[in-house]
Amino acid sequence: MSTLFYLNPSSSILNHPHSHFKTPPKRPSSYITSGGPPQPTPPQQLQTFWQWLSEEKVVTHKSPAKPGVVSEGLGLVAQRDISRNEVVLEVPKKLWINPESVAASEIGSVCSGLKPWVCVALFLIREKMRGGESWWWRYIDVLPECTDSTIFWSEEELYEIQGTQLLSTTVGCKDYVQSEFLRVEEEIILPNQKLFPSTITVEDFLWAFGILRSRAFSRLRGQNLVLIPLADLINHSSSIKTEDYAYEIKGAGLFSRDLIFSLRSPVAVKAGEQVLIQYDLNKSNAELALDYGFIESGSDRVTYTLNLDIAESDENFGDKLDIAETNGMNTTAYFDITLDQPLPKEMLPYLRLVALGGTDAFLLESIFRNAVWDHLQLPVSRANEEVICQVVRNACKSALAGYNTTLEEDEKLKTDGNLSPRLQIAVGIRAGEKKVLHHIDSIFKEREQELDELEYYQERRLRDLGLVGEQGDIIFWEPK
Ligand SMILES: C[S@@+](CC[C@H](N)C(=O)[O-])C[C@H]1O[C@@H](n2cnc3c(N)ncnc32)[C@H](O)[C@@H]1O
């Protein structure tokens, strides 16, 4: 039965569903660091950065906010009271780092055709290596060496998220960065040693990837990827519930063709307080942990991604695939399930389709093709519904057995407190996933208990034909 479909700890966060977790981390005998937790930036670098921005006429002593050292590393601190929606800073295009500025740079000619993030990463690494010779050094000097994103965790730290989807995604993400690095190394870096005189390693590439993931604004990713110095010092607040109006790209003025990036404060801020925004309301805790290296405590970010497959070995594979595709899905479907929320709308129909077989297989015949998805919205047969419940519950059970700790142990660690930022993320993520798995299991457990009361396809059909009486009894005709 369990070969019909399965649930595994892979996640769709990076559109990299088959990012395999090849070597499960073992508890290392010694502490292997990957650079350790982020270190604070010395105020001197911050001072030099500010001076550079003044020279470039990006800021003045009247600017409403200024970079400062805060509990999240660096941040933007209000210099005076700032009102809601007030512009906090404006950064002209000459200071942006994006594929366009890379194209206009020394390495532009060898970067055409690269993915936006790969070419910006290469640029950033090269400028970092050029040190004081780079026009960008005062910006690069304030960039952190790492964040608390799981891509920077040591083996020992990753051991704390054993069994989680986040671990699988992290490993997949690092595999992806490595494969992009190997390609760019072979095709661009090694053949152009004059442009890239110093050795660039996969760790450098991972650093640049982490910088872009944590600092590029959500709406300015993919093809629009851009790093905006100064604006990228803005930190996230969970209490700001809107992403609206925080930033925009606009013309620099009536007589200018230039563009500027303009950042507004979504809330009123008192002098001396930090200006904060909401990074992305739609990201799960796993995505926040991977991208930025923090999580939130509310339940709306606590998710688990169910990964359902139509097995190629299924004797009805072709028909099922056709039905899935007709309804905007594929052989594999991902369903993000959020704690205490109902199941995603298309999940039960997809599960019923995947499990369809035996005497129910007639629904796969071509005469039903236009109506089958409607039929799958409701229980098809007791056998079909029972399979779904059993397989999902077994999958939840086996996923729960894959963690090193129990939910109770995680909860105790949380209440005892005093966890390092990375351990806090690890415990929060693994506890969250377990809660969602228990939540899914309880939904299907309840369903299992209702199997005798549910109405199935055949009964609905008879009722529609007027062949079921008020009490559910089947009406027979006696031929006259
Ligand atoms: C866009 S940068 C903001 C500037 C950053 N604090 C710095 O020191 O350069 C995003 C990074 O800031 C940190 N950060 C932002 N908001 C945070 C929060 N609410 N809690 C913890 N860390 C936060 C994380 O390290 C994240 O990856």
CB 332 within 8 A of CB 12: no
Residue set of the binding site for S-adenosyl-L-methionine: 72-74, 215, 235-236
| Same-domain check for residues 218 and 259 | yes
Residues 450 and 343 in one domain: yes
Pair 239, 302 in one domain: no
Tell me: do 101 and 239 sit in the same domain. Answer: yes
User: How many Å lie between the centroid of ligand 1 and the Cα of residue 413?
Assistant: 24
232 in contact with ligand 1, CB cutoff 6 A: yes
Phi/psi of residue 332, each to 5°?
Answer: -120, 135
Residue 1: CB atoms within 10 Å: 10
pLDDT of residue 297: 94
> Is the model's pLDDT at 11 over the cut of 50?
no
pLDDT at position 258 is 86
Q: Strand, helix or coil at 309?
A: strand
C-alpha to C-alpha distance for 37 and 33, rounded to whole angstroms: 9
What per-residue confidence (pLDDT) applies to 477?
55
Q: Are residues 139 and 263 in the same domain?
A: yes
Q: Is the CB of 73 under 6 A from ligand 1?
A: yes
Confidence of residue 17 (pLDDT cuts 50, 70, 90): very low
Half-sphere exposure of 267 (CA within 13 A, CB side): 16
Give the whole-angstrom CA distance, residue 452 versus residue 449.
Answer: 8
User: What CATH number corresponds to the domain at position 65?
Assistant: 3.90.1410.10
Residue 423 lies in a domain: yes
Of the candidates 139, 176, 279, 403, the residue annotated as catalytic is 279
- pLDDT tens digit string along 402-416? 999 999 999 999 999
User: How many whole angstroms from 11 Cα to the centroid of ligand 1?
Assistant: 24
Based on the fold, state whether residues 68 and 197 are members of the same structural domain: yes
Q: Does 279 qualify as catalytic in the annotation?
A: yes
pLDDT at 464: 82
Question: Which of 158-162, 197-201, 250-254, 308-312 is predicted least confidently?
Answer: 250-254
Centroid of ligand 1 to alpha carbon of 144 (angstroms): 10
Domain co-membership, 219 together with 320: no
Q: How confident is the model at residue 480 (pLDDT cuts 50, 70, 90)?
A: very low
Q: What is the pLDDT of residues 114-137, one digit of tens each?
A: 999 999 999 999 999 999 999 999
Range of the domain at 301: 297-464
Give the integer Cα–Cα distance in Å for 437 and 458. Answer: 32
Range with lowest mean pLDDT among 2-11, 209-218, 246-255, 442-451: 2-11
19 C-beta closer than 6 A to ligand 1: no
Handedness of CA 107, 113, 114, 115 (dihedral sign): positive
Distance 430 CA to ligand 1 centre (A): 22
Q: What is the pLDDT of residues 344-400, one digit of tens each?
A: 999 999 999 999 999 999 999 999 999 999 999 999 999 999 999 999 999 999 999
Spatial strand order of the sheet with 247-251 comes to 87-92, 259-264, 247-251
Cα separation, 147 vs 294, in Å, equals 9
Query: Shortest CA distance to 59 belongs to which of 88, 85, 84?
Result: 88
pLDDT tens figures, 229-252: 999 999 999 999 988 878 889 887
In this prediction, residue 305 has a pLDDT band, given cuts at 50, 70 and 90, of very high
Mutation test residue for ligand 1: of 49, 233, 235, the one with most atoms within 8 Å of CB: 235
pLDDT band (50, 70, 90) for residue 102: very high
Q: What total of structural domains would you count in the chain?
A: 2
User: Does the beta carbon of 427 sit less than 6 angstroms from any atom of ligand 1?
Assistant: no
Residue 332, pLDDT > 90, answer yes
Per-residue model confidence (pLDDT) at position 179: 98
Torsion of CA 312, 317, 322, 326, to 10 degrees: -70
**Same domain, residue pair 265 and 370:** no
Question: Would the ipTM clear 0.85, i.e. be above it?
Answer: yes
Is residue 21 very low, low, confident or very high in pLDDT (cuts 50, 70, 90)? very low
User: Is the domain of 62 the same as that of 190?
Assistant: yes
Residue 41's pLDDT is 62
pLDDT at res. 476: 55
pTM score of the predicted model: 0.89
- What local confidence, expressed as pLDDT, does residue 156 receive? 97
- Calpha distance 445→386 (Å, rounded): 10
Nearest CA to ligand 1 atom 27: 292
Residue closest to 200 by CA, chosen among 144, 300, 124, 292: 124
Q: How confident is the model at residue 470 (pLDDT cuts 50, 70, 90)?
A: low
Q: Is 306 found in the same domain as 272?
A: no
Paired with 397 in beta bridges are: none
Structure confidence by residue, pLDDT tens digits, 171-186: 999 999 999 999 999 9
Q: Are residues 449 and 359 in the same domain?
A: yes
Ligand 1, atom 25: closest residue by C-alpha: 147
Q: Does any domain span residue 29?
A: no
Beta-sheet pairing, 247-251 with 259-264: antiparallel
